Amino acid sequence: MMSLSQEALLVREALVAEGLETPLVANALNSQQKKEKIEGHMRSIMETLGLDLADDSLAETPHRIAKMYVNEIFAGLDYATFPKVTVIENKMKVDEMIMVKDISLTSTCEHHFVTIDGLAHVAYIPRGKVIGLSKINRIVQFFARRPQVQERLTQQILLALQTLLGTKDVAISIAATHYCVKARGVMDSTSYTTTTSLGGVFKTQPDTRAEFLAGLKR
């Protein structure tokens, strides 16, 4: 088993302590074993639906889905894939808000296993540390690559960044389209869901909160 980075361990421990970790049950399956089991189950589902797996268009679909689940869209369930994070001393003494907008994310609704597609906006006020900007995008995408509910996803990103940066002064907003609403059920193709999670001065100081919210509109 691949050892986890110190950053991955810290983030996982923080999420567990706050009750924000994705509901997980440990198993001893390695990546290949997971793919084999998923492929077999997917084959059974397709056969139950009456699909002809002898057809050349469908024959490899169970394998493709298994590979996609483990290596791609659910890769964030494995902390071995947690991004390598660069956090450095705030030598320039930056003390104003840093904001990264329009971070694309694609996740999966844990209730129906269909797509959630949206944008995340992340801000923080540096104290002793600053983080490489691309690492913010990677952390967002790590937690998106799980079965999710948007509310938990928002809070997971917030707590991960607070843990790594050593400050509560972090704010997250996500706006996303849920295909469980768009493609089934009510079939509303235009609505989207916005969630916001604020920490530190973003929560306690109205001016800082207003600056963040105003930045979302630019």
Inform me whether the pLDDT recorded for 2 exceeds 80.
no
**pLDDT value of position 218:** 75
DSSP letter assigned to residue 113: -
* Nearest CA among 115, 96, 113, 92 for reference residue 104: 115
Phi and psi at residue 73, to the nearest 5°: -70, -20
180 annotated as ligand-binding: yes
pTM over 0.75: yes
132-152: pLDDT as tens digits:
999 999 999 999 999 999 999
List helix spans (H) across the chain.
6-17, 31-48, 61-68, 133-144, 150-165, 179-182, 201-204, 206-215
Higher pLDDT, 183 or 2: 183
Mean pLDDT across the stretch 159-166?
Answer: 97
Inform me whether the pLDDT recorded for 1 exceeds 70.
no
**Distance from the first to the final alpha carbon of the chain:** 45
Mean pLDDT across the stretch 37-63?
Answer: 98
CB 176 within 8 A of CB 152: no
94-131: pLDDT as tens digits:
999 999 999 999 999 999 999 999 999 999 999 999 99
**pLDDT value of position 212:** 97
Mean pLDDT across the stretch 25-34?
Answer: 94
Inform me whether the pLDDT recorded for 157 exceeds 60.
yes
Inform me whether the pLDDT recorded for 155 exceeds 70.
yes
Higher pLDDT, 193 or 1: 193
Active site members? 109-112, 150, 178, 180
Mean pLDDT across the stretch 25-46?
Answer: 96
41 annotated as ligand-binding: no
